[in-house]
A and B are shown apart, each in its own frame.
Chain A
Amino acid sequence: MAVVTGVPPVVETNRVIAPGQTAGMLDDVVNTPVLVGPQRTPTWWWIGFGITLSLLGLYLVSIVHLITTGVGIFGNNQPVSWAMPIINFVWWIGIGHAGTLISAALLLFRQPWRTSINRFAEAMTIFAVVCAGLYPILHIGRPWVFYWLMPYPNTHGMFPNFRSALTWDVFAISTYATVSLLFWFIGLIPDLATLRDSAKSRFQKLLYGALALGWNGSAKAWQRYMRAYLLLAALSFPLVLSVHSTIALDFAISQVPGWNNTVMPPYFVAGAVFAGFAMVLLLAIPLRRAFGFEHLITLRHLDNAAKLMLATGMIVVYGYVVELFYAWYSGVEFEKFMAYNRVLGADHWWAFWALIACNLLAIQPLWFRRVRQTPWALFLISIFVSIGMWLERFVIVVVSLTKDFLPSSWGNYVPTFWDWALFVGSFGLFGTLFLLFLRLLPAIATTEMKELAHHDAHHGPDAYESIREAYYRGEVRA
């Protein structure tokens, strides 16, 4: 069979993969941009890298200032001791969940549309977990002794309190980071071997050769690989539900009105997947354009992600309704006041209504197929959702804490310059890592895509079409 090379024409289709893809074409479009020399790095990459690197600089300056000066540089103080560091932590960790859902859950459910988006979604998960995990560490005030969070033999005469959800958090996040990284790396191995085999420079040969772990593509290697991959998928899948449930318990097992609520874990998980799919779309839409991946990340992918965003978004809205219902149904005056203060309170009523605008109203156009298949509209809605989910955590964390039980202890919270600098800077960390990933590793799982393309060619709608034609021409017998 002749190897077809060259970048295929851009075709917008509603299928999981545009028709007529071959292994050679996939290598050309996905692996070639990774293997070109530094001088052929595209301009958009350099511009993006310059921006994210500057933001990363801001992030590092903020951290140095934090460590040399102390947590007093933030606006948090009693009664709002959990403010932007925790909001940002929950926001970032939530974003990661869509990546795990795509990579693990959709693999186990045998959804073919996962294949072209799982690689970068998993990368997004890992980088989001990195951004998230740093916040609690920076928030503890003495980041250099963060290892005190772990149970280890020490001279303090102390051990972490296993009845505290904050301790569960440490394990949830570290497990999540480890499993996500392993799953991502295992998935990369055959692709790294492909890159190793077509590498040109010595640096590339060494880098991809070492990372490919001596992959030889034998049947035995494949069998073991598939088994390990499925096992890790089965390990990752429960994490989609458990990690954010644990984070929700940080709030739910406390007594603060607005936190102490049984709906928190499922509603947090839905919110995480909701925000995560918004981020997947925010990354996928420019990505498919920049790399010319329109035939691999098709409108079908955008459509499906938008459907999941709509579904989880409506679960989240149900959560808002239930929170207000509980406040009334409980008959507890503190809960009732919390609900009033959240919706109509003088200080932060705007946050609640902005949240409703972003998370309820902005996603309603997604009921229409036309909107779900219009990239710019999806991009815009995803921005609204990201802002909305940040506001949701702001409302839960800050508004609940400003006015709880005792009016004499009420207070307010105003973020400082450094609160914002550390938040904006974290985008620099995420963006820098993501751009390095795009430059050094294949953004699409080529091995699995080849499998999909092969399957599509032989069992897809076109295959049946050509077999039928061949049958009528008398070349094939039934």
Chain B
Amino acid sequence: MPQIFPPNANAFVRWALIGGGLFVGLLAVALPIYARTVNNAVGVPVAQPVDFPHNLHTAQLGIDCRFCHTSVEVAASANVPATETCMGCHSQIRVGDPMLAGVAASWDSGLPLEWNRVHDMADYVYFDHSAHINNGVGCSTCHGRVDQMTEIWKEEPLTMGWCLECHRAPERFVRPRSEVFNMAYVPPADQLTLGAELVATYHIDSDALPQCSTCHR
């Protein structure tokens, strides 16, 4: 009877076992590294149908965030403006500029611009902008210095671990309500003291914040 298995078949099995062990070991090293370094495309600009320089409109022209993101104080969604909002100015300013061709086309056709979402939360997360804005979480805490961005990108990874950094200790990030829309706000040296006072003043329920059902309903 001819041999079916070559003489090195046993060595193959042995190496497969060693390889399996190495794979598990590698996984044990790689997973923590991945978990610590994953950044969910932080800092990578997201291409848009029309280039919208946030820095020009906010820092240089002085338009408030809420001029376009109208519902940020009252609703879960901050709102992305309609073409009509753009045309409020651009029917007079820089009419016919090729950079604005997409806006003009949208105005003519009546079809809205299809912006690409930058901050995409998982569908099982209940996130409410108004709850954060009204309790002293500043725009720049999560979105970074949008007033300095020529293109738009994510400043933070938006992982659950990142959310919990604040939900487990809100006093580390809360600022006075009057400073929420101040993009240049720098936390004071005694942030923890001030934060604790604000948490008490705003009746932020620190025990409820890290509970599952606060965000997963």
Q: Which residues of A contact B (CB under 8 A)?
A: 142, 152-158, 202, 205-206, 209-210, 213-214
- Beyond A213-B13, A214-B9, whether A153 also contacts B31 by CB under 8 A is yes
Chain A hits for B168, CB < 8 A? 157
Shortest B59–chain A CB gap in Å is: 32
Contact B4 A156 (CB under 8 A): no
**Contact of B159 with A155 in the complex, beta carbons under 8 Å:** yes
Binding site for A on B (CB under 8 A): 4-5, 9-10, 13, 31-32, 34-36, 38, 124, 157, 159-165, 168
Are B160's CB and A153's CB within 8 A? Answer: no
Q: Once the chains bind, are B32 and A155 in contact (CB under 8 Å)?
A: no
> Is chain B's binding surface mostly helix, strand, loop or mixed?
helix
B161 near A154 with CB under 8 A, answer yes
Residues from chain A with a CB closer than 8 A to the CB of B165 are 157
The interface residues of chain A lying within 8 Å CB-to-CB of B10 are 214
Q: Which residue in A155, A158, A205, A209 is a CB contact (below 8 Å) of B38?
A: A155
With known contacts A205-B4, A209-B4, A158–B160 Cβ distance under 8 A: yes
Known: A202-B4, A205-B4, A209-B4. A156 touches B159 (CB 8 A): yes
Task: Give B154 Cβ to nearest chain A Cβ, in Å.
Answer: 14
Q: In the complex, A209 Cα to B4 Cα: how many Å?
A: 9
* Closest chain A residue to B165, Cβ basis: A157
A-B contact pairs, 8 of them (CB 8 A): A142-B124, A152-B31, A153-B32, A156-B161, A157-B168, A202-B4, A214-B5, A214-B9
Question: How far does the alpha carbon of A108 sit from the alpha carbon of B163 in the complex, in Å?
Answer: 53
Give A154 to B165 CA distance when docked, in angstroms: 14
Whether A154 and B4, one on each chain, are in contact in the complex, defined by CB atoms closer than 8 angstroms, is no
4 closest cross-chain pairs (CB), A and B: A157-B161, A155-B159, A157-B164, A153-B32
B161 nearest CB neighbor, chain A only: A157
Q: Contact at A157–B160, with CB atoms within 8 Å?
A: yes
B157 touches A155 (CB 8 A): yes
Shortest B17–chain A CB gap in Å is 11
Chain B residues with CB under 8 Å of A156's CB are 159-161, 164
Chain B residue at smallest Cβ distance from A142: B124
Most buried by B among A152, A153, A155, A214: A155
The smallest beta-carbon distance between A158 and chain B, in angstroms, is 7
A440 to chain B, nearest CB (A): 18
**Chain B residue at minimum C-beta to C-beta distance from A152:** B31
In the complex, the chain A residue whose C-beta lies closest to that of B39 is A155
Q: Which residues of B have CB within 8 Å of A205?
A: 4
Q: Which has the most chain A C-beta neighbours within 10 Å: B31, B35, B164?
A: B35
Distance in angstroms between the alpha carbons of A41 and B165 in the assembled complex: 63
Give Cα distance in the complex from A205 to B13, angstroms: 17
Contacts of A209 in B (CB 8 A): 4-5
- Beta-carbon nearest neighbor of B13 in chain A: A213
B93 to chain A, nearest CB (A): 44
Contacts of A214 in B (CB 8 A): 5, 9-10, 13
Q: CA separation between A152 and B32, bound complex, in Å?
A: 8
Q: Are A155 and B4 in contact (CB under 8 A)?
A: no
Distance between A78 CB and nearest chain B CB, rounded to angstroms: 13
